[in-house]
C-alpha cells in the first residue's frame, strides 16, 4: 500500500442493510419467477448486485467481493463436479440399459388390487434410479393414472401415491440434483447426507405404505384391467434393450460405494464405465452413441434395432428415455453458480451472521433449532417456489449456527430437504405443484392429503429434534476443524 492510500474502513451492516439483498431476492423471485415465469438466474444475479453495492458502501472493495465469491466456489467445487458426474452416469445407465430395466420391471409388477402401494413403490424405485421426480411422475406416474382410470379408482389417491413415491426416490437418489445441492450447501459428504436422510424418510415411507395398503384393501378393484399404454411402453423397452442381470451391476457398485463410504466421484465413474461396457456388449450401441449419451444425453434416435422405429413410438417412451448427459446438468449448475455468487457477496459483509444471530435469539434447544430451520425452509420454498434456491440459502445461512451449537451440518441438510425439497410438489403455486397437477390431471390440493411422505417428514424432523433421536452431534475435534472456516474468515476480515 502506498503512503497516499488510506486503509478502507469496513463497517458492520445494519439490520436493514443485512436484510435488503435477501428481501430483494425474495421479491424478485416472487414476482419475476412465480408471476411472470422469468428465469431465476438473472433475478438472483440482480440480488447479488444489490448485495455487492451494499458491500462497497460498507467499505469493501470490488476485489474483496470477487475473492469472497471465488472462495465459495472453491469450497463447493467437489460437489459441483459430482453434479456433472451425475449427468454423466445417468447417460451411461440409460444407454447401458440399467435404468430402462428398472423401469420395465417396475411396470411389470402392477397389480390392480394393490394399485396405490404398487404405484408408490414402483415410482419410488424409478425415481431412485433416475434421480428425477418429474421424469418418473411424467412417465410411470402417468401410466399408473391410466391404471387408476381403468379401474375407476380414487385418482387423487393414485396421484398422491405417485407424487410421494417420486419424491421418496428423488430425495434418496445420489443422482438427484436437490440431494446433491443439499449436500453441497451444508458441506456434507453426499452418501453421509443420504444416510442421515433415512431417519425421517424411512418412518414417512412406512406411514405412507400403511395408508396406501389399508386404503387399497378397502377398495373394490375386481375386474380392473391394465391399460394398453403400459404394455406398449414395456414392449418398446423390451425391443430396444437386452435385459440381463449384468445390467444391475452399476447400481450395485453405487450401493457398495454408499455403504462403504468410498469417494463419490470414483465410484460413480466405475459404475458409469461398467454401464458403458454393457451398452457396447449387450445393447449394440456404437462408441459414438455411448459418448454422445454421457455428454448430451441418451436419445432413442440412436436405436438401430430391427422392428423398432423411433419416429412411431408413443410420446411416453422418448419422454422416459431421452435424458442424462453432462450437459443436462448445466441448468442446475448455472443456478448454483448464481446462488453461490449471491451467497459469497452477502457473506462478505457478515450480513447472514447478523440475521442468523437475531433469529437464534428465539432458539434455546436442538428442537427449536430444527423448528427454526423448518420454518426457514417452508418460507423459502413458499415465497421463491424454487427448490434449489430454497435449499442453498438456508444451508448458507444456518450452517455455522449448527456447528457452533455442536450439531453436525448433516442435521441441517436433512431438515432443509424435509421442509423445502419434498414439500414443493404439495404447494399449488410452485413449479413442481403446477407440473404434478398438470401431468397427473389432479389438482394439487386434491392429492395433497394422499402425498403422505411429502408432509410427514417435517413431523418426524420436529419429534426427533426435541427427543434427540437421530440427531448427530459433533465431537470437539470435528467442531474445531469446521469452525476454522468461519473463524479464519473473521480473522482475515479483521486484519
Query: Is 423 a member of any domain?
Result: no
Q: What is residue 473's DSSP assignment? A: B
DSSP secondary structure of 4-52: T--PPP-PPPPHHHHHHHHHHHHHHIIIIIIIS---HHHHHHHHHHHHH
Phi, psi angles (nearest 5°) of residue 402: -65, -45
* CA nearest neighbour of 320 among 126, 480, 495, 159: 126
Instruction: Centre a 10 Å sphere on the Cβ of residue 302 and count the other Cβ atoms it contains.
Output: 20
360 is written with which cell numbers?
437464534
Could you identify the residue written with the cell 401415491?
A: 161
Query: Is 294 a member of any domain?
Result: yes
Query: Is 145 a member of any domain?
Result: yes
Q: Please state which of the ranges 35-39, 288-292, 346-350, 484-488 shows the lowest mean pLDDT.
A: 484-488
Mean pLDDT, to the nearest integer, of 381-407? 82
* CA nearest neighbour of 412 among 397, 395, 396, 400: 395
Mean pLDDT, to the nearest integer, of 119-136? 82
| C-alpha to C-alpha distance for 148 and 119, rounded to whole angstroms | 10
Mean pLDDT, to the nearest integer, of 248-268? 82
pTM: 0.71
What pLDDT, on a 0 to 100 scale, did the predictor assign at position 224?
Answer: 54
Mean pLDDT, to the nearest integer, of 108-116? 77
Query: Is 196 a member of any domain?
Result: yes
* CA nearest neighbour of 285 among 269, 268, 300: 300
| Total domains in the fold of the chain | 1
Query: Is 280 a member of any domain?
Result: yes
| C-alpha to C-alpha distance for 389 and 397, rounded to whole angstroms | 12
> Distance between alpha carbon 123 and the CA centroid of its chain, in Å?
16
Residue-wise burial string across 22-50, b where 16 or more C-beta atoms lie within 10 A, e elsewhere: bebbbebbbebbbeeeeebbebbebbbeb
Mean pLDDT, to the nearest integer, of 434-443? 82
pLDDT surpasses 70 at 323: yes
**pLDDT tens sequence across 80-99:** 787 788 789 888 998 999 88
What pLDDT, on a 0 to 100 scale, did the predictor assign at position 277?
Answer: 97
Query: Is 380 a member of any domain?
Result: no
| C-alpha to C-alpha distance for 136 and 126, rounded to whole angstroms | 6
| C-alpha to C-alpha distance for 376 and 355, rounded to whole angstroms | 12
456 is written with which cell numbers?
410427514
* CA nearest neighbour of 267 among 175, 169, 131: 175
How buried is 223 (Cβ within 10 angstroms: 0-12 exposed, 13-18 middle, 19+ buried)?
exposed
What pLDDT, on a 0 to 100 scale, did the predictor assign at position 440?
Answer: 85
Q: Is the dihedral of CA 287, 290, 292, 295 positive or negative?
A: negative
Query: Is 1 a member of any domain?
Result: no
Mean pLDDT, to the nearest integer, of 403-412? 93
What pLDDT, on a 0 to 100 scale, did the predictor assign at position 35?
Answer: 78
| C-alpha to C-alpha distance for 71 and 82, rounded to whole angstroms | 18
**pLDDT tens sequence across 158-197:** 999 999 999 998 889 888 878 888 998 898 988 899 999 9
Mean per-residue pLDDT over the chain, rounded: 85
Helix, strand or coil for residue 218? Answer: coil
Please give the residue range of the domain that contains residue 226. Answer: 79-329
Query: Is 363 a member of any domain?
Result: no
Percentage of the chain surpassing pLDDT 70? 92
Length of the chain (residues): 495
Q: What is residue 407's DSSP assignment? A: B
pLDDT surpasses 50 at 2: no
Mean pLDDT, to the nearest integer, of 54-76? 89
206 is written with which cell numbers?
412406512
**pLDDT tens sequence across 195-252:** 999 999 999 999 999 999 999 888 765 445 566 777 888 889 999 999 999 999 988 8
| C-alpha to C-alpha distance for 147 and 306, rounded to whole angstroms | 30
Mean pLDDT, to the nearest integer, of 421-436? 82
Amino acid at each position: 500500500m502506498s503512503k497516499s492510500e488510506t486503509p478502507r474502513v469496513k463497517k458492520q451492516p445494519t439490520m436493514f442493510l443485512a436484510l435488503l439483498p435477501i428481501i430483494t431476492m425474495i421479491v424478485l423471485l416472487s414476482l419475476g419467477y412465480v408471476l411472470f415465469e422469468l428465469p431465476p438466474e438473472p433475478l438472483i444475479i440482480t440480488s447479488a448486485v444489490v448485495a455487492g453495492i451494499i458491500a462497497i458502501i460498507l467499505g469493501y472493495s470490488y476485489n474483496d467481493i470477487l475473492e469472497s465469491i471465488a472462495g465459495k466456489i472453491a469450497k463447493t467445487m467437489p460437489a459441483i463436479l459430482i453434479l456433472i458426474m451425475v449427468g454423466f452416469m445417468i447417460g451411461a445407465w440409460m444407454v447401458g440399459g440399467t435404468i430402462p430395466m428398472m423401469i420395465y420391471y417396475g411396470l411389470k409388477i402392477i397389480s390392480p388390487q394393490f394399485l396405490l402401494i404398487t404405484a408408490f413403490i414402483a415410482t419410488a424405485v424409478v425415481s431412485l434410479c433416475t434421480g428425477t421426480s418429474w421424469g418418473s411422475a411424467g412417465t410411470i406416474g402417468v401410466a399408473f393414472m391410466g391404471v387408476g382410470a381403468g379401474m375407476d379408482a380414487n385418482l387423487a389417491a393414485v396421484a398422491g401415491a405417485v407424487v410421494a413415491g417420486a419424491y421418496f426416490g428423488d430425495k434418496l437418489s445420489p443422482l438427484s440434483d436437490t440431494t446433491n445441492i443439499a449436500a453441497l450447501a451444508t458441506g456434507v459428504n453426499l452418501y453421509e447426507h443420504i444416510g442421515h436422510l433415512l431417519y425421517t424418510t424411512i418412518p414417512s415411507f412406512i406411514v405412507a405404505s400403511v395408508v396406501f395398503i389399508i386404503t387399497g384393501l378397502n377398495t373394490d378393484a375386481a375386474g380392473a384391467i391394465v391399460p394398453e399404454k403400459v404394455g406398449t411402453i414395456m414392449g418398446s423397452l423390451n425391443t430396444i434393450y437386452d435385459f440381463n442381470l449384468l445390467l444391475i451391476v452399476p447400481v450395485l457398485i453405487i450401493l457398495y460405494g454408499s455403504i462403504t463410504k468410498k469417494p463419490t466421484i470414483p465410484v460413480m465413474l466405475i459404475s458409469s464405465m461398467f454401464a458403458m461396457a454393457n451398452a457396447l456388449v449387450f445393447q449394440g450401441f456404437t462408441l459414438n452413441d455411448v459418448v454422445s449419451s454421457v455428454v448430451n444425453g441418451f436419445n432413442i434416435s440412436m436405436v438401430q434395432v430391427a422392428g423398432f422405429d423411433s419416429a412411431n413410438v408413443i410420446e411416453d417412451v422418448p419422454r422416459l428415455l431421452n435424458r442424462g448427459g453432462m450437459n443436462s446438468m448445466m441448468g442446475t449448475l448455472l443456478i448454483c453458480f448464481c446462488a453461490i455468487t449471491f451467497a459469497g457477496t452477502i457473506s462478505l459483509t457478515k450480513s447472514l451472521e447478523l440475521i442468523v444471530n437475531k433469529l437464534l435469539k428465539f432458539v434455546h434447544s436442538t428442537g427449536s433449532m430444527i423448528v427454526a430451520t423448518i420454518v426457514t425452509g417452508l418460507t423459502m420454498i413458499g415465497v421463491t417456489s424454487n427448490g434449489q434456491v430454497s435449499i442453498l440459502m438456508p444451508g448458507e445461512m444456518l450452517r455455522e449456527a449448527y456447528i457452533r451449537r455442536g450439531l453436525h451440518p448433516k442435521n441441517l441438510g436433512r431438515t432443509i430437504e424435509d421442509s423445502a425439497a419434498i414439500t414443493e410438489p404439495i404447494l399449488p403455486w410452485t413449479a413442481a405443484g403446477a407440473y404434478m397437477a398438470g401431468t397427473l390431471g389432479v389438482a394439487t390440493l386434491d392429492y395433497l392429503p394422499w402425498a403422505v411422505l411429502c408432509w410427514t417428514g417435517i413431523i418426524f424432523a420436529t419429534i426427533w429434534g426435541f427427543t434427540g433421536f437421530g440427531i448427530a452431534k459433533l465431537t470437539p475435534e470435528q467442531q474445531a476443524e469446521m469452525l476454522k472456516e468461519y473463524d479464519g474468515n473473521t480473522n482475515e476480515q479483521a486484519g
